[in-house]
Amino acid sequence: MGPYLIPRNTKGEGRILFIFSKKALIYTTVGLIIGYLTYRLFSIIGLGVVGIVLLVLLSLIGFGIGTFKMPNTNAFEITKKTGGENIDDVILRAIKFKLRNKNKIYVYTKEEK
């Protein structure tokens, strides 16, 4: 009789501290670095509280971009086309489109007479 693999739920085992995946940790770290730079800038001016709020906000935005997916709903056109995809993939694809095509879209239609 050979070994038998018992199926188990492995979801979440690749996460760090139960909430951070590798990608979410990277995006959160980038948000923290940008937030820290804005905190230092605002603390020089004398608005340290505003800098702390921006630091927290930018790190939460980074975490959201790295973790969540686009909602799958028909309410908006962008969610019809990108529903279920990672937010960072959608953002990167939009940036590549803007850089590559210079905002030109060619539509070919077939006219029937």
Which tokens go with 67?
Answer: 């973790």
pLDDT band at 101 (very low <50, low <70, confident <90, very high): low
Q: Is the pTM of this model over 0.85?
A: no
Name the band, by pLDDT with cuts 50, 70 and 90, for residue 32. Answer: confident
| Residue 35 · residue 54 · CB < 8 Å | yes
Q: Whole-angstrom Cα distance, residue 50 to residue 35?
A: 11
Mean of the per-residue pLDDT values for the chain? 77
16 forms bridges with which residues in the sheet?
A: 20
Residues 98, 22: Cα–Cα separation, whole Å: 28
Q: Please report where in the chains the tokens 């935005």 appear, as a residue.
A: 61
Q: Rounded distance, CA 6 to CA 10, Å?
A: 12
